[in-house]
Structure 1
Amino acid sequence: MRQTPFEKIKTIVSLEVPSELLEFLPVKWEKIGSVAIISLPDDLKQYQRIIGKAYAKVLGCSSTLNDVGNISGLYRKPSVELIFGSKKTETIHRENGIRYRLDPQRIMFSSGNLAERQRMATVSHPHETVVDLFAGVGYFTLPMAVYSTPKKIFACEINSVAFRYLCENVVLNHVSSIVEPLFGDNRLVAPKDCANRVILGYLHDSEQYLPVAFECLQGMGGVIHYHHLVPIELIPEKPLSHIKQIAIRYNRSVDLLKTQVIKSYAPGIDHVVLDVRVSE
């Protein structure tokens, strides 16, 4: 019987790692271009190079990173360490016909958001102006620009490394005529009173950026895609209440169009996105 990738990894590792530790091998991983990312428990720390080499070999990667913590802060920096392979981890990740150039040691990229990136490729329309408040390397901006071809996407990014990759990826995917990258804090650089659609793809304290999203919308209103971390029992009430509170401040009304669960973030907490229509 043909072995699964994990079975192959386990077979290779078992040659050098005690059998009683094999149960701690990570059964999940991320593959970002030519880089594998795993999360090793402390029990396997002394064998990390052996294990990293096995994952790289089976997954066809040149490097393996160990994820040692969560994405941190407004700049969304990953906490990873190189445990095997080339120190040069810049790579091109291909997904849904889009090419993302990035360095997973310096920039986050979540494969768990794949379905949402695919969805963003279909939601816009050719006449629309879009503002992406946390564009990163182009996670949502690029599929939207390539497949929905809106009139204009203003892509804001505060992390200088991510911004450089965003600019490169706009050229790499031939959407320079659609995407205008804007460097800096979106509260300062995002264009106001112009957008038919706003993407607010930030998870931690994302409600503090809702005023920016409302101010970006053109006079007649538009759609906001609002990402948030929510206790399961408070979906969609909690994030929707954030939006309604800001709507009152701006004398706008809000209609919930869709609630999408992206992935489980932690026990009892999901990453969700609410699509809401804001109108006068």
Structure 2
Amino acid sequence: MSDDPLAAIVPKPEGERAIAALREEGVYDESRTVREAGEGALALPVTHPPTETDVHEVIRQPEPEVRAPGLEDLLAEQGWSDAEIERVPGSWAVIGSVILVDLAGCPREAEVGGALLELHGGADTVLARGGISGEHREPSVRVVAGAGDTETIHTEHGTKYALDLARVMFSPGNKRERHRMGEIVEEGERVLDMFAGIGYFALPMARGGARVIAVERNPVAFRYLLENAVLNGVEDRIDAYRADCRDVEVEEGVDRVVMGYYDAAEPRVDGNGEADGSYEYLPSAFGALRDGGVLHMHEATPEAELWDRPVSRLREAAANAGRGVEILDTRRVKSHSAGVAHVVVDARVGRSG
């Protein structure tokens, strides 16, 4: 008789319920991974045939996939104490061949970096990330393990991003929003991306059929924007300008404007540091949009002011420009910092009155 381990077959929709029941019964095998078992079914690893959990059948599973150990498991094997492991980061981002991780307060950084490389076999460099600073939003990073190559190509929902993580920023938490922008554009739409960076939103929108005016003033990010347009085969759909977005004239109204820089909605302040009711970038966005076009405004907003602050800023700036706005959607993208959320407001822009 075969000595291959056992697996219980259940329908996919019943997977989570069945796993919980098998754990309660004490027969779920945590050392192996769940695998698909044909169309619409899952093979759940078990140590013994279940007697209390309803499953379709129990089979022998040749060549089972062993569950990879986690970071804490690897460090524990190296002799780390429980107190040290408590200071280990609970999450990190794999961007192409680079692992980006916040190691603030973490002991033995090099050992953590080595363990992360062991967990992610396709990666070759681990970077400890600091803050973002300067007018070009430049990242602060340190190599803590691996080859030290900070340049990579990251693929996300089919879009390829070439970048140097030591020179340009990349936010893993914006992944869903980048994908969404590629899904909502229509073939032939004209879009203005006011803060294009390396093509975070411009690339998926161009791949979705839009014609994108992409503006970026950081010379390094601009070089990658051009490279990425070619890399994704959309160079004929992206008109790139290395400039301040306020200086780019759009002759005909565009269908959509993306303001992906979340400080761009900040009001101007007077000599006393008080808001004077005017805005640096929103007038340019309204000036570019056709009647009925859509604006996607990103902002870093204190939790206590959701959604009043971003919406009121948008309405005030629109009124100043003689435009009217209809709020279409408000979305929380991710946490920005303690008590502050990165949000997006979608608004249809028309003529006032």
The alignment status of 1:75 with 2:136, answered yes or no, reads yes
Matched ranges for 1:1-280 at <5 A:
1-2=30-31, 7-14=69-76, 15=78, 17-44=80-107, 47-60=108-121, 61-69=123-131, 71-147=132-208, 149-150=209-210, 152-189=211-248, 191=250, 193-207=252-266, 208-218=280-290, 220-280=291-351
Query: Aligned-pair distance for 1:12?
Result: 2.5
Task: Extract unaligned runs of 5+ from structure 1.
Answer: none
Moved more, 227-236 or 205-214: 205-214
**Does 1 or 2 have the higher relative contact order (CA < 8 Å, sep 6+)?**
1
Query: Aligned-pair distance for 1:43?
Result: 4.5
Corresponding letter in the other structure for 2:98: V
TM-score (norm. length: structure 2): 0.73
Corresponding letter in the other structure for 1:34: S
Residue 256 of structure 2 contacts residue 293 of structure 2 at CA under 8 Å; is this kept in 1? yes
Query: Aligned-pair distance for 1:19?
Result: 4.0
Residues 82-140 of structure 1 show CA distances to partners (whole Å, capped at 9, x for unaligned) of 11112222111011011111111111111111110111012222232100011111111
Query: Aligned-pair distance for 1:222?
Result: 1.1
> The residue matched to 1:164 in structure 2 has which SS?
helix
Residues 125-178 of structure 1 show CA distances to partners (whole Å, capped at 9, x for unaligned) of 22321000111111111111112x02x200011111111111000001011111
Residue 98 of structure 1 contacts residue 142 of structure 1 at CA under 8 Å; is this kept in 2? yes
Residue 264 of structure 2 contacts residue 282 of structure 2 at CA under 8 Å; is this kept in 1? no
Residue 12 of structure 1 contacts residue 54 of structure 1 at CA under 8 Å; is this kept in 2? yes
Corresponding letter in the other structure for 1:181: A
Distance 1:268 1:42, change over 3 A: closer
Among all aligned residue pairs of Structure 1 and Structure 2, give the percentage whose two residues are the same amino acid.
Answer: 39
> The residue matched to 1:196 in structure 2 has which SS?
strand
The separation in 1 between residues aligned to 2:320 and 2:244, in whole angstroms, is: 22
TM-score (norm. length: structure 1): 0.92
Structure of larger gyration radius:
2
Residue 154 of structure 1 contacts residue 190 of structure 1 at CA under 8 Å; is this kept in 2? no
Residues 182-214 of structure 1 show CA distances to partners (whole Å, capped at 9, x for unaligned) of 112111135354311000001125333111111
Residue 255 of structure 1 contacts residue 277 of structure 1 at CA under 8 Å; is this kept in 2? yes
CA-based RMSD: 1.9
Residue 65 of structure 1 contacts residue 83 of structure 1 at CA under 8 Å; is this kept in 2? yes
Query: Aligned-pair distance for 1:6?
Result: 8.8
> The residue matched to 1:42 in structure 2 has which SS?
coil
Moved more, 184-193 or 246-255: 184-193
More helix by share: 1
Corresponding letter in the other structure for 1:2: S
The separation in 2 between residues aligned to 1:7 and 1:201, in whole angstroms, is: 37
Corresponding letter in the other structure for 2:257: V
